[in-house]
Amino acid sequence: MTEILLLITSLAVLNLVFAALVVALRVFNWRRAERFDGRKQSWQPKLIALISDDSDPAALSSQVDPREQADVVEISWALARRLRGQDRARIQQFAEPLMGVVTRDLKARRPERRARAVQITSCLGGDDYAETLVDCLDDSSTLVSLVAARALAQPNRVDRIDPILDRLHRYDQWSQALLSSMLANVGPEATPAMRRYLSDDRHTSRSRAAIARALELLRDVEAGDVAAQQLTSPDGEVVAACLRLLSVVGRGIHAVGVRPLLLDDRFFIRAAAITTLGKIGVREDAESIVQMVDGDSPWIAIRSAQALADLHATDELATLVEGGGLPAEAAVETLYGGAA
Amino acid sequence: MKEILLAFNVFIIVYFAILNGTYLLLSVTAFRSLRRYVDRLDSLEIDDLLSSSGGLPISLLVPAFNEAATIVPSVRSLLTLTYADYEIVVVNDGSTDETLSVLIAAFGLEPVVRVPTSDIPAAEVHAVYQGVRHSNLTVIDKTNGGKADALNVGLNYSRSALFCAMDADTILESEALARVVRPFLEDASTVAVGGIVRIANGCTIDGGTVDDVRLPKNMLARFQVLEYLRAFLAARVGWNTIGGTLIISGAFGAFRRSVVASAGGFDAATVGEDMELIVRLHRHCRDQGIPYRIEFIPDPVAWTEAPERISELASQRDRWQRGLAQVITKHRRMIANPKYGVPGMVALPTYVLFELLGPVVELLGYAAFAAAIISGTASTTYVVAFLAVAVFLGSALSVAAVALEEISFRRYRRFGDLAMLLGFALIENFGYRQLSTWWRLRGLVSAIRGDLNWGTMERQGLDRPTRDAERTTDDDSMDEATSGSSIARTGHVTER
C-alpha cells in the first residue's frame, strides 16, 4: 500500500511540477520579451538616428550596459539586415565593440547556436571578420559550414569563391537549387573558377551539377564549351546538368555532342537532350525529335513538342496532332498554349 | 473467477503504465528535439530562404467536394501565400453543388489541354481549366472518387518536383510553404514533410490569416486542442526524432512527386490515405534501396476547423481508427521486420499495441474496474493504482504537451488560455477520454466489417479572406524530368 501511495503521490507531484514548469516558463518568457521590448524601444531610435547623423558610433556603443549587450546586438542585427552600404557600415561600427558576445557563440557546443553566430557575425562584422567566416567553413557541422558559405558568397567578392568551392562537396546532401543560387549570388566574376570546377572530374557529381546550375543562372556563355566536353561523362547527373546549361548558353556547334544523347538509356538524359536540341539544334533535328516521341512517356512527349516549337518545326508538330494520343495532346498544349 | 479478475486487473494496470510511459518517453524525446529545432530555425532564417532563388517549385493539390460555399475564398487565400514558385491545382471531385461554376466565374477559368505526366489509376477527368488572371491556378473537373482519388488526379497533372496535399477548408499560414519546403532544401533525400495542424475554432481570422489565436468556446473543440498539441508536439516530434514518422496529416503535407508517383500515389481503397501513403513510402524506399527521409516539422502551420458536435467528432474518430486498422492490416508484413528499420521494428508495433488495440484494452480495463468494485473484489490498493496510472499519468502527458508548446511556439498568448489548457489536461480524463476510446472501438468494429464510408461534417465556417491576389508565376518547372536525380520516375503502380 505504501508503494502505491508513493506512486500516486509521485505522479500527482509530476503533474504539479509540469504545470508549475509551464507557468514558470510563461512568466520567464513574458518577462524576457518585456525586457527585450523595452530595450528595443530604447535603442532602435538611437540606431536609426546614428544612420542619419554624423555622431560617433563608438561613443554610442560605450553607453551599452554589459547586461544588455546581447539584446542590443540582436536589435542591431535586425536593423542591419535591412540596410546596405554606408548605412549598414555605421551599424557595424556601432556593433564592433559588442561583437564579443557573438564571437563567443562561434565556439558554442550546439551547432545551431554557432550557425546563428555566423549569421550575425557576417552581417555585423563586415569584412573584418571574413577570415573568421572562412575558418567556420571547416566547422564540424555542415549546417555551420553552409551558413558560413552563404555568408561569404556575396556579390562581387570573387576572392571568397575558392574557399567555398574547396568545401562544396561537404554540402552534397543539400538541395542543388539552394547551392547553385548561393554560388550564382557571387556574380559573373566567379565564373572562371566555377568553369574550372565543372571540368574537373575529381569533384563529386552533385557538386559539379550544382556548379553547372549556377553557371546556368549566370548565363555564362563561356561555360558552353566546358559543358559540351562533359557530355561524354559516365556521370548522368553531371550530363543532365550540362545539358540544361547548354540549353541556356549553348551554340550550334555544341549540338554535335547533344544528338547522340537522344538515344541514351537514361530517361532524364533523353528528356534533357530533347530540350537542349530544341534550343541549339537546327531545323533538320526535328525529324530525330519526332522519332523520339512515343505514346508512353508524357515527359518525352511534352519536351519533344516544345523542342519542335523552338525549332519552328510546325509541319512536324502538325503531324503529331494528326497522330492523336499523348503526342497530339502535348503538341496542342504547346501550339495553343494549352487552350482547348 | 476472483483470481482471473485480479490477474486481468493487474494486466490492465501494467498496460496503462506502459502505454502512458511510452508516450511520456516520446514527450521527453520531443522536448529535446523541439529545443534544437527552434534553435535551428534561428540558424538559417526563413527570410533568407524566401529571398533566395533556391526555393523549389511546388504544386498545391486541393481536393474539393461540394465546397461551393467556401472554395473561392479558400483559393484566394492560397493565392496570397508567400512563396516564389507555386501552382494551385484544385480538383473538383464530382461535386453535386456549384463548386466548379463558382470557381469558373470567380477566377475567369478557361478550358485548356494539359497532358498528365503520370498514370496513376483514377476516376475519369472531364476537363482541365486554367485561370486567366492567375496562370498558376488550375482546376480539374473529374468524376467523384473520393479524396485519395482526387489527389491522384492532381498528382497526375502536376509538374513541379514537389507537391503539397491539403484539404480545401484548411488555412495555410503565409510562410507555411516556405517552411515546409525547408527540409527538402536541407536534405535532397527528403521525400515527405508534414507540418503541424492547429485548431482554428475560436481564433480571429481576417483576410485568410489567423490574427488572434484563442481557445475555442466549445468544450469539445477545447479537448481537441489539447489532443492536437499532444499528437503533434509530443508524439509526432518524438517519433520523428527516432525516424519513426508514420503519419503526415492529410490536411497538410509536402511530398517529392517522383517518389510518390513511383510508389503508386494515394490508395483510394482506404479511409486513412494519409497514413497509408507514409507507411508505403517507408516500405517502397526500403524495398527499392532508395535513400530517403520522412520528416515531421512543427513550424509550418495549417489551421483547420474541428468538429464541435459529438456526432461529427464520433464519425471522425471512427474513420481515423478504421484508417489505422486498414493501414496496419495492409502493411502487416512490415511489423517486427528488421528490413523496415525503426518504422517496422518500433513504430508499427507500438501503433498496433497502443493505438489499434488500445481502445479494446482500455474499455475492458474500465469494465473490469467497475466489475471489481461492484463485486467487492477490488482492493483499495487496486483502485488507487488504477486511478494513478490511468488518470495522473495520462494528464501528465497532456501537461507535458502544453509545456512543449510553451518552450517552442507559444501560440496561446493569453494566460487564461494557458491555465484553461492545464485544467483540461486533468478534466479530459473524466469522460472525454473514455468517450474517445469508445468511438475508436466502434471504428475498429467498422473496420472489421469493411466500412469505407468517410462520414460528413457540417462546417460551422471559419472567417474567410476577402483580398484577391494579383500574383502570377511561370508555369511548370518540369524539374524532375531533367534533374538527373537517382529517384527517377518509373510510372509503374504498385500495391494495387
pLDDT in tens, B348-361: 999 999 999 999 99
Helix (H, G, I), strand (E, B) or coil at B280: helix
Chain B hits for A81, Cβ within 8 Å = 47
Determine the Cα–Cα distance for residues B105 and B110; give it in Å rounded to an integer: 10
Helix (H, G, I), strand (E, B) or coil at A106: coil
Contact B187 A174 (CB under 8 A): yes
The predicted pLDDT at position B372 comes to 81
Interface of A with B in 99-158 (CB under 8 A): 110-113, 115-116, 119, 143, 146-147, 150
The pair phi, psi for residue A328, each rounded to 5°, is: -65, -45
The letter for the amino acid at A173 is Q
Give the residue, B480 or B134, on which the prediction is more confident: B134
The mean pLDDT value for B64-90 works out to 92
With cut-offs at 50, 70 and 90, classify the pLDDT of residue B454: low
pLDDT > 70: what percent of chain B?
A: 89
- pLDDT by residue (tens digit) across A248-260? 999 999 999 999 9
Average pLDDT, chain B: 87
What is the full DSSP assignment across B302-324?
A: EEEPPP-SHHHHHHHHHHHHHHH
* Closest residue on chain B to A273 (Cα): B482
The mean pLDDT value for B426-430 works out to 91
The predicted pLDDT at position A127 comes to 85
How is residue B387 written as a grid cell? 486511478
User: Which CA distances in Å does B140 have to A2, A219, B473?
Assistant: 67, 36, 19
How is residue A45 written as a grid cell? 531610435
Please state, as a whole number, how many other Cβ atoms lie within 10 Å of the Cβ of residue B426. Answer: 17
With cut-offs at 50, 70 and 90, classify the pLDDT of residue A135: very high
Residue B493, pLDDT > 60, answer no
Helix (H) or strand (E) holding B20: helix B2-43
- Angle between helical axes of A2-52 and B415-427 (0-180°, round to 10): 160
Helix (H, G, I), strand (E, B) or coil at B390: helix
Contacts of A54 (CB under 8 A, 6+ apart): none
Q: Which residues share a beta bridge with B88?
A: B60, B137
Chain B hits for A175, Cβ within 8 Å = 54, 56, 184-186, 188
CA distance B179 to chain A (A): 14
Q: What is the ipTM of this complex?
A: 0.90
The mean pLDDT value for A131-136 works out to 95
The pair phi, psi for residue B145, each rounded to 5°, is: -150, 5
pLDDT > 70: what percent of chain A?
A: 98
Q: What is the DSSP letter of B218?
A: S
With cut-offs at 50, 70 and 90, classify the pLDDT of residue A339: low
Determine the Cα–Cα distance for residues A277 and A259; give it in Å rounded to an integer: 7
From B116, B130, B488, residue closest to A338, measured CB to CB: B130
Contact A143 B43 (CB under 8 A): yes
The predicted pLDDT at position B470 comes to 29
Interface of A with B in 39-78 (CB under 8 A): none
Contacts of A312 (CB under 8 A, 6+ apart): A283
Residue A89, pLDDT > 50, answer yes
| Pair B418, B412: CB distance under 8 Å | yes
- Does the CB of A212 have a partner CB in chain B at under 8 Å? no
The mean pLDDT value for B399-403 works out to 94
| Residue bearing cell 474496474 | B369
Residue B316, pLDDT > 50, answer yes
Determine the Cα–Cα distance for residues B211 and B214; give it in Å rounded to an integer: 10
Helix (H, G, I), strand (E, B) or coil at B458: coil
How is residue B198 written as a grid cell? 492547429
Determine the Cα–Cα distance for residues A277 and A228; give it in Å rounded to an integer: 12
Chain B hits for A1, Cβ within 8 Å = 380-381
Say what the pTM is: 0.90
Contact B56 A18 (CB under 8 A): no
- pLDDT by residue (tens digit) across A157-170? 889 999 999 999 99
With cut-offs at 50, 70 and 90, classify the pLDDT of residue B455: low
- Angle between helical axes of A205-218 and A236-249 (0-180°, round to 10): 10
- Does the CB of B52 have a partner CB in chain A at under 8 Å? yes
Residue A20, pLDDT > 60, answer yes
| Pair B170, B300: CB distance under 8 Å | no
How is residue A127 written as a grid cell? 569584412
Helix (H, G, I), strand (E, B) or coil at B485: coil
| Residue bearing cell 563529386 | A204
The predicted pLDDT at position B451 comes to 67
The letter for the amino acid at A95 is A
The mean pLDDT value for B378-390 works out to 75
Determine the Cα–Cα distance for residues B356 and B444; give it in Å rounded to an integer: 8
Residue A121 sits at the vertex; the CA angle it makes with B56 and A103, to the nearest 5 degrees, is 130
User: Which CA distances in Å does B457 have to A78, B169, B249, B309, B462?
Assistant: 45, 12, 18, 9, 14
| Pair B394, B434: CB distance under 8 Å | no
Determine the Cα–Cα distance for residues A32 and B410; give it in Å rounded to an integer: 14
The mean pLDDT value for B166-194 works out to 93
- Tell which residue, B102, B88, B92, B175, has the closest CA to residue B134: B88
The letter for the amino acid at B384 is V
With cut-offs at 50, 70 and 90, classify the pLDDT of residue B263: very high
The mean pLDDT value for B55-62 works out to 92
What is the full DSSP assignment across A8-77?
A: HHHHHHHHHHHHHHHHHHHHHHHHHHHHHHHHHHHHHHHHHHHHHS---HHHHHTTS-GGGHHHHHHHHH
Helix (H) or strand (E) holding B298: strand B293-304
Q: Which residues of B123-162 are buried (b: 16+ CB within 10 A; e: fewer)?
A: bebebbbbbeebbbbbbbbbeebbbbbbbbbbbbbbbbbb
> A233-236, long-range: CB within 8 Å, 24+ apart, which pairs?
A233/A201, A235/A201, A235/A205, A235/A208, A236/A266, A236/A268, A236/A269, A236/B484
* Distance from the Cα of residue B22 to its chain's centroid: 21
Residue B164, pLDDT > 90, answer yes
| Residue bearing cell 519536351 | A303
Chain A hits for B393, Cβ within 8 Å = 11
The predicted pLDDT at position B465 comes to 37
- Does the CB of A25 have a partner CB in chain B at under 8 Å? yes
Give the residue, B207 or B304, on which the prediction is more confident: B304
End-to-end CA distance of chain B: 48
The predicted pLDDT at position B45 comes to 76
| Residue bearing cell 498528365 | B116
* Closest residue on chain A to B483 (Cα): A240
Q: What is the DSSP letter of B112?
A: E
| Pair A133, A152: CB distance under 8 Å | yes
- Does the CB of A236 have a partner CB in chain B at under 8 Å? yes
The predicted pLDDT at position B375 comes to 81
How is residue A62 written as a grid cell? 560605450
Determine the Cα–Cα distance for residues B365 and B9; give it in Å rounded to an integer: 7
Helix (H, G, I), strand (E, B) or coil at A313: coil
With cut-offs at 50, 70 and 90, classify the pLDDT of residue A307: very high
Determine the Cα–Cα distance for residues B9 and B467; give it in Å rounded to an integer: 59
Interface of B with A in 257-316 (CB under 8 A): none
With cut-offs at 50, 70 and 90, classify the pLDDT of residue B477: very low
The mean pLDDT value for A81-96 works out to 93
Determine the Cα–Cα distance for residues A92 and B270; give it in Å rounded to an integer: 59
Determine the Cα–Cα distance for residues B252 and B245; give it in Å rounded to an integer: 15
Task: Map B61-101 to HEC letters.
Answer: EEEECCCCCCHHHHHHHHHCCCCCCEEEEEEEECCCCCHHH
Please state, as a whole number, how many other Cβ atoms lie within 10 Å of the Cβ of residue B422. Answer: 21
What is the full DSSP assignment across A201-225?
A: TTS-HHHHHHHHHHHHHHT-TTHHH
- Tell which residue, B85, B291, B302, B273, has the closest CA to residue B180: B302
The mean pLDDT value for B410-438 works out to 93
The predicted pLDDT at position A8 comes to 78
